[in-house]
Amino acid sequence: MVNVIPFSLREDCLQVLLVAQASVWELPAEPVKEDESLEQAAARLLATLIDRHETYLDQLYTYGSPQRLAISVVYLALVPAEAHLLPGRMVRLFPVATLPEMPGDQPDILAYALRRLRYKLEYSAVGFQLLPAEFSLPELQHTYEIILAENLDKRNFRRRILQSGIIERTPRFHTGEGRPARLYRYRPDAVAEIKARRLFP
């Protein structure tokens, strides 16, 4: 059995996708077929939920206990905001701050996935999976603040993120109210693993 925990940034907050089973909201789950790997099973499950096939997947943990009917391998998924939920299943995105009641140890599993996401944000470029291809520095900082659930110093964040070498300027600007903001993009050839606390001392 595989579980997938899909996180997405929607409506200015971090949300998680849950499915309805017999009037109870649960983590998406699917049995593993004999001819597929665990990751293939997780990707297949995710493909029944959203219309975005190129989605970040990371194996988190294997859960098993006397109370569980089966061992479950849990995957973390990061879903871009532009991805749409597919019809045919009772699915819904919930803000992580206001989750419905969930059965068994699923609240603990979800809490662990959220902790892992926050840890990974501090030592890798995983946060870019939730951003559009091009973004401003204020948008990037806001994304980090939403996921980490804390405010970051503007000057320090910008200095550290630029020094890390994981983003590069584009020739484009985001226009709107106030001064146009330079747009950046993630450097695909940059080293993904960075020293977290150098960004957030």
Identify the pLDDT of residue 67.
60
**Beta pairing partners, 76:** 5, 58
Helix ranges, the chain (H): 38-47, 106-123, 137-148, 154-163, 196-199
- Region 137-162: mean pLDDT is 90
Identify the pLDDT of residue 182.
92
- In 3D space, the residue among 95, 85, 82, 97 whose CA is nearest the CA of residue 28 turns out to be 85
- pLDDT of 41 above 90: yes
* Domain definitions of the chain by residue range: 2-123, 130-199
27 or 187, higher pLDDT:
27
Q: Are 183 and 174 in contact (CB under 8 A)?
A: yes
| pLDDT digits 0-9 by tens, 172-192 | 997 777 788 899 998 877 655
- pLDDT of 2 above 80: yes
Identify the pLDDT of residue 53.
65
**Beta pairing partners, 184:** 135, 169
Q: Name the superfamily (CATH) of residues 2-123.
A: Nucleoside Triphosphate Pyrophosphohydrolase (3.90.79.10)
pTM, whole model, 2 decimals?
0.85
| pLDDT digits 0-9 by tens, 111-147 | 999 999 988 887 777 778 888 889 999 999 999 999 9
Fold topology of 130-199:
Arc Repressor Mutant, subunit A (1.10.10)
Average pLDDT score over the chain? 85
Residue type, 189: D
Q: Are 174 and 180 in contact (CB under 8 A)?
A: yes
Identify the pLDDT of residue 186.
86
- Region 97-123: mean pLDDT is 89
What are the respective helix, strand and coil percentages of the chain, to the nearest 5?
A: 30, 30, 40
What sign for the dihedral angle of Cα 67, 69, 73, 76? negative
Helix ranges, 48-131 (H): 106-123
Residue 175 structure tokens = 């226009």
- pLDDT of 37 above 90: yes
DSSP per residue over 177-199, as a string? SSS-EEEEEE-TTS-S---HHHH
Identify the pLDDT of residue 68.
57
* CA distances to 25, 144, 146, 170 from 95, in Å: 13, 16, 11, 32
- pLDDT of 196 above 60: no
Identify the pLDDT of residue 19.
95
- In 3D space, the residue among 83, 91, 76 whose CA is nearest the CA of residue 54 turns out to be 83
pLDDT grade for 72, boundaries at 50, 70 and 90: confident
